[in-house]
Chains A and B, each alone.
Chain A
Amino acid sequence: DIQMTQSPSSLSASVGDRVSITCRASQSITIYLNWYQQKPGKAPHLLISAASSLQSGVPSRFSGSGSGTDFTLTISSLQPEDFATYYCQQSYSNPPTFGQGTKVEIK
């Protein structure tokens, strides 16, 4: 199975900050990397697919980059509604696997 490792596991940031979360795959997954946002008590919500494709309705302050084994989710200017946990997930091969999550908290 492909292992997905996110860093950091958690971070504290202020409204307006630029935030980056990294995700590393244990082998090349080309661009088959998705990012999800999850708020407490809610289901995950798809933000970005294929490493950098922003989903419809997702604010443009979210962006994704990377290919191969190293990927980044960036929030250009953190908003109050962005405090949540973020997960990466590879769809390159079965089984699909998720990173352990990055919790973004208010500083």
Chain B
Amino acid sequence: EVQLVESGGGLVKPGGSLRLSCAASGFTFSSHSLNWVRQTPGKGLEWVSSISSSSSYIFYADSVKGRFTISRDNAKNSLFLQMNSLRAEDTAVYYCARSYYDTTGSNKLDYWGQGTLVTVSS
């Protein structure tokens, strides 16, 4: 059974830092790209960042570029998101999600973790 379990969320002051983790199991971790997606009540679902299976390709949303860093450890089946210079608008539930490319070339987010809440407030 595929499982993704996020951790590391919490309350942090504006300008602070937080590191999210996502522990994966039940699939060949090193074969899949992974993503961070966040959700706020006001803005719905927002893709944050993605990393390819070997970390060769990394992408960020403009809203977090230069402040967030995605990384992975294939030996430990773990995904990370280092978040620096946090702002109030980064407050959200953060999900990790697995990418799956099917025969059509379509990239779907086929498994999601339960999410971890990040609150940025003084």
A residues 77-98 touching B (CB-CB < 8 Å):
87, 89, 91, 94-98
At the interface, yes or no: B106 with Cβ under 8 Å from chain A?
Answer: yes
Question: A46–B102 contact, CB under 8 A?
Answer: no
Question: Any chain A CB within 8 A of the CB of B27?
Answer: no
Is B104 a contact partner of A98 (Cβ separation < 8 A)?
A: no
Q: What's the Cα separation between A86 and B46 when bound, in Å? A: 14
Task: Judge if A8 is at the interface, Cβ distance under 8 Å.
Answer: no
Q: Do A97 and B113 have beta carbons less than 8 Å apart?
A: no
Main secondary structure of the interface of A (DSSP, over half): loop
In contact, B45 and A87 (Cβ under 8 angstroms): yes
B61 in the interface (beta carbon within 8 A): yes
- Measured between alpha carbons, how far is A86 from B89 in the docked complex, in Å? 23
CB neighbours (8 Å) of B35 from chain A are 96
Number of interface residues, chain A, beta carbon within 8 A: 24
Contact of B106 among A31, A45, A97 (CB under 8 A): A31
A10 within 8 Å of B by Cβ?
no
**Given A43-B95, A87-B44, A97-B47, is A50 in contact with B109 using a C-beta cutoff of 8 Å?**
no
- Say whether chain B's binding surface is mostly helix, strand, loop, or mixed: strand
- Which residues of the partner chain A approach B108 to less than 8 Å between Cβ atoms? 34, 46, 49-50, 91
Q: Measured between alpha carbons, how far is A45 from B108 in the docked complex, in Å?
A: 11
**A96-B44 contact in complex given A43-B114, A44-B112, C-beta closer than 8 Å:** no
A31 close to B104 (CB less than 8 A): yes
Contact in complex: A46, B44 (CB < 8 Å): no
Residues of A within 8 A of B59 (CB): 94-95
Q: CA of A44 to CA of B98 in the docked complex: distance in angstroms?
A: 12
Q: Digitize A16-45: 1 where CB-to-B-CB distance is under 8 Å, 0 elsewhere.
A: 000000000000000110101000001111
Q: Give A residues with C-beta under 8 Å from B.
A: 31-32, 34, 36, 42-46, 49-50, 53, 55, 87, 89, 91, 94-101
4 interchain residue pairs of minimum CB distance: A43-B112, A49-B108, A50-B106, A98-B45
Q: List 15 A-B contacts (CB under 8 A).
A: A34-B109, A44-B45, A46-B110, A49-B110, A50-B106, A50-B108, A53-B106, A91-B106, A91-B107, A95-B61, A96-B35, A96-B107, A97-B47, A98-B47, A101-B44
